[in-house]
């Protein structure tokens, strides 16, 4: 069974989308690293409505790396899922996500002058975003926190949990062991957004995730 979707299954539920930042001028770039911390994943039996844990541990994954899919797949591969059909998935992630990226303004988009480079920094920006800087000396990984005010998400001080309907059901045969293959694409998965003349913030946005479940 092959499932291709955008940020709605198992690993990357980027529901924050920085809705607290009401600005207009943006540009997207490719981040590296782009690090998330997986906490727990559960599937719901569509008949009994019981939840089955298929992964539970802290796992830090740089989804921009070449082996990210292998690491993420290993989080659930080998799980002996009880016989049945599953229709929902519940995922718990750390609220902190880390990216490193830079953007070169090629046309005075951010009013900082053509050729101005904006870098992620370790400083927090508005709405849980990352403050950007024009100084290369400040260039480092920045951490963005999923806001606790996002609707439809259960948050604690450190984690957030979201439940989604699967795009198609997963059926597990009795005693079967599931193998999972995951592929990430972080093209354009960090946004720089203008906050003023020559100033900006940055934040991670949803990558493309391809997931294949093999019975």
| Residue pLDDT tens, the chain, 215 long | 443 333 333 444 444 444 444 455 888 999 999 999 989 888 899 999 999 888 888 989 898 887 877 777 777 655 667 888 988 888 898 999 999 999 998 776 666 677 889 999 999 998 889 999 999 999 999 999 877 777 777 888 899 888 888 777 888 777 666 666 777 889 999 999 988 877 899 998 878 777 666 66
- Structural domain includes residue 53: yes
The pTM (predicted TM-score) of the whole model is 0.78
Burial of 31 (0-12, 13-18, 19+ CB in 10 A): buried
The pLDDT value recorded for residue 10 is: 40
In a domain, 21, yes or no: no
Evaluate whether 207 touches 186 at the Cβ level (below 8 Å). Answer: yes
pLDDT of residue 166: 78
23 domain-assigned: no
**Which residues span the domain enclosing 179?**
2-13+29-214
pLDDT of residue 108: 61
Is 111 inside any structural domain? Answer: yes
pLDDT of residue 20: 45
On the 0-12 / 13-18 / 19+ scale of CB atoms within 10 A, 3 is middle
Q: How many domains does the chain have?
A: 1
What pLDDT was estimated at residue 18? Answer: 45
């Amino acid at each position: 069974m092959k499932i291709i979707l955008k940020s709605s299954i198992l690993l990357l539920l980027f529901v924050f989308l920085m809705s607290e930042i009401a600005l207009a001028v943006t540009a997207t770039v490719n981040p590296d690293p782009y690090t998330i911390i997986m906490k727990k994943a559960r599937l719901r039996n569509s008949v009994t409505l019981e939840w089955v844990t298929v992964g539970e541990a802290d796992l830090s994954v740089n989804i921009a790396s070449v082996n990210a899919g292998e690491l993420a797949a290993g989080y659930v591969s080998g799980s002996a899922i009880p016989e049945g059909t599953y229709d929902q998935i519940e995922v718990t992630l750390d609220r902190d996500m880390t990216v490193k990226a830079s953007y070169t303004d090629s046309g005075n988009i951010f009013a900082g002058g053509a050729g101005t480079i904006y870098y992620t920094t370790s400083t927090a920006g508005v709405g849980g975003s990352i403050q950007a800087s024009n100084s290369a000396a400040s260039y480092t990984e920045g951490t963005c926190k999923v806001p606790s005010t996002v609707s439809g998400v259960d948050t604690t001080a450190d984690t957030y949990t979201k439940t989604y309907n699967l795009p198609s059901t997963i059926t597990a045969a009795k005693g079967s062991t599931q193998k999972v293959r995951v592929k990430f694409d972080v093209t354009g998965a960090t946004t720089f957004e203008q906050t003023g003349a020559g100033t900006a913030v940055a934040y991670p946005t949803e990558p493309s995730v391809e997931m294949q479940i093999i019975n």
